[in-house]
A and B are shown apart, each in its own frame.
Chain A
Amino acid sequence: MTKTKQKGLRALKFLFLLLLAILFLVPILLVFMNSFKSKFYIIGSPFSLPNSETFAGIENYIKGLSSSGFFAAFGRSVFITVFSVLLIVVCTAMTAWFIVRVKGKFTKLLYYLFVFSMIVPFQMVMFTMTYIVNAISFNNPIGIVFVYLGFGAGLSVFMLTGFIKSVPLEIEEAATIDGCNPLQTFFLVVFPILKPTAITVAILNAMWIWNDYLLPYLILGTGQKTVPVAIQIAMQGAYGSVDWGGFMAMLVLAIIPIIVFYISCQKYIIKGVVAGAVKG
């Protein structure tokens, strides 16, 4: 009796998760499908598969790539994402280590400031921030990396402190006795132990930084476009007309890197989140 009940429950769970998966996959599939259709057929029948009449081959891709300055934008996006993520991971790991190991009023305050920064909406600070960024000439691909460090730090510090609390202090003391100075202790011993959580932090930040539209638009403007800005601007014609074909093709190209990155690291994301949750 209970066994059949359990089986039923499992089937129900499976069905629910399947539906959820489809719900998430459909939009991506739609983008992919429509990127091969000629632009006049996309609005009319977005859900139909391309056929001999509607199939446009890679025409959309060629048109998109040639018109949007996609390659330059792609390179800029890669630069910004890679360096922002690197900076976030290294800096916040050190900060989190400092917060956990040096106990005091100052570090407590620092921790709460980081946590607080997570709940402040971006829109609240965007105008003042843009003004300051312009004033100190950070409105370039290198400067924006530091701006991303600020926006990514809250969640990252929060996750990493949770994990570092579970790292026994004795391991660091052993390193001290073995001849490490604090910097060596961090990079040779603590940081490698943090790897799963650090990778999780990297993935989470890489995803939103890669996809971010508003911040680069505000800071870099249309002069130094990132991928999302470039696509939007290139495909939006005059009088609200949109080249949906090119748009879809560019979207496909834009999501490929982040999906590949996610899939290759996804086993760590679960490990990292669980480690933080259970031990933190």
Chain B
Amino acid sequence: MASITLKNIKKTYDAKHTVIENLNLEIKDKEFMILVGPSGCGKSTTLRMIAGLEEISGGELLIGDRVVNDVAPKDRDIAMVFQSYALYPHMSVYKNMAFALKRKHEKQEEIDRKVHAAAKVLELEEYLNRKPRALSGGQRQRVALGRAMVRQPSVFLLDEPLSNLDAKLRAEMRTQLKKLHQDLQTTFVYVTHDQTEAMTMADRIVVMKDGVIQQVDTPQNLYNHPSNQFVAGFIGTPQMNFIDAKLAAESGRYFVCFDAYRIPLPDRMVKARDLADYTGQTVVLGVRPEDFHGEAEYRLKTQRNLIHLPVDQAEMMGAEIYLYGEIGKTPVVAKIPSAEPVAAGDTAALALDMQAAHLFDKRTGDAITD
């Protein structure tokens, strides 16, 4: 069981190309930490540095209290699950799982016991004699997990382990992985570009972009209090809408003005920060699609926040319907209950829930209100 500390971690290739400039992160013991971000953001590199597969160009990496910068991967007490599973194709499932233990010269009975225990948890017992090529994708994935489990490492590293599975299996494996984490009581570090995986499994999420950590927080906080426009846009589907708006002040009250609308800011936002600096300037209003409300009673309640969205396209998703249109020139998506009678070509009257809205600095992208 171990925590992981990254102190001023730097990664450069060929001394010229810098992938990670200065990364600081503290992963707690037994935590399920997910690194998420678009491709090329440095999340996999970070994971591979923790694994010891990439050299660390600068800074310190600690697993527990031990600095492991120069410790070989096998001595770091970690196990890794790869995106392509990386099973040994010429070995049976049993041998794949026993391989690391054999390298450590453990006793045969001990190896046997551990492999069978892991196989039982992962429901692989009947496949132990098969070669990987005779298994389905989901089974291979479980073998890869089993190979990591038998070593009883203090840290599990998982590099996009679900991205080669189909949607249904992925959803199943998410639940299984979460359960596995609870059962094993071990630190998990998980890399993905899929924010749904991150939101559903993580204790905390690290959102990265261009080698820089944007925010580290619980899924709930990331969703409700994104620290900048990038995080706000990355977490949540469909993406948060960003509308350029002018901030206006009138007798102590603040308004956001865009297109023909002038919508008052709720007290929560005004109290949170002195908005005087931004008065008269363009800011970015962030509204999640689900914070547009099409229901009649809602519309009545929030008359002043009503906007009219000409619907170009309506996508039926089952319980919800996605409405696509434009406010001014800005494309906007709204997500409303599918019971509402709206179709493409209509103009939908939607109430904007300003309590859940966000304001961002137009220039830096930082959140103005939390």
Contacts and interface: CB of A to CB of B under 8 A. Distances in A.
Interface residues of B, number: 22
B177 interface: no
B17 interface: no
B301 interface: no
B356 interface: no
A20 B90 CA distance: 37
Main secondary structure on B side of the interface with A: loop
Contact of A195 (B52, B86, B90, B103): B90
Interface of A: 168, 170-171, 173-180, 184, 189, 192-193, 195
Interface stretch (B18-26, B74-82, B258-266, B285-293): B74-82
Main secondary structure on A side of the interface with B: helix
Most B CB contacts (10 A, CB to CB) among A178, A180, A189, A192 go to A178
Given A170-B82, A177-B100, 5 more contacts: A171-B87, A175-B88, A178-B100, A179-B100, A180-B103
Contacts of A192: 88, 90
B90 A177 contact: no
Nearest to B90: A192
A70 to B, nearest CB: 40
A180 B53 CA distance: 13
Contact of B79 (A170, A177, A180, A193): A177
B92 to A, nearest CB: 12
B127 interface: no
Most A CB contacts (10 A, CB to CB) among B86, B104, B151 go to B86
A178 B74 contact: yes
B12 to A, nearest CB: 17
Contacts of A179: 74, 100, 103-104
Nearest to B76: A177
Contacts of B151: 178
A175 B147 CA distance: 11
6 contacts: A177-B53, A178-B99, A178-B147, A179-B74, A179-B104, A192-B90
Contacts of B84: 168, 170
Contacts of B147: 174, 178
A180 B73 CA distance: 10
B78 A177 contact: yes
A181 to B, nearest CB: 9
A173 B147 CA distance: 14
Contacts of A175: 88, 99
A170 B83 contact: yes
Nearest to B159: A170
Interface string B92-120: 00000001100110000000000000000
A171 B103 contact: no
B316 to A, nearest CB: 41
A275 B151 CA distance: 34
Interface of B: 51-53, 73-74, 78-80, 82-84, 86-90, 99-100, 103-104, 147, 151
A193 to B, nearest CB: 6
A177 B74 contact: yes
Contacts of A195: 90
B86 A170 contact: yes
A174 B144 CA distance: 10
A171 B79 CA distance: 13
A171 B86 contact: yes
Contacts of A180: 74, 103
A207 B259 CA distance: 82
Contacts of B100: 177-179
A239 B128 CA distance: 71
B53 A173 contact: yes
Contacts of A189: 88
Nearest to B151: A178
A178 B83 CA distance: 16
B291 to A, nearest CB: 42
B363 to A, nearest CB: 42
Contacts of B73: 176-177
A134 B231 CA distance: 74
B90 A173 contact: no
Nearest to B91: A192
A178 B102 CA distance: 9
Given A179-B104, A180-B103, A193 B82 contact: no
Nearest to B74: A179
Nearest to B80: A177
Nearest to A191: B90
Contacts of A170: 82-84, 86
Contacts of B52: 176-177
Contact of B103 (A168, A178, A193): A178
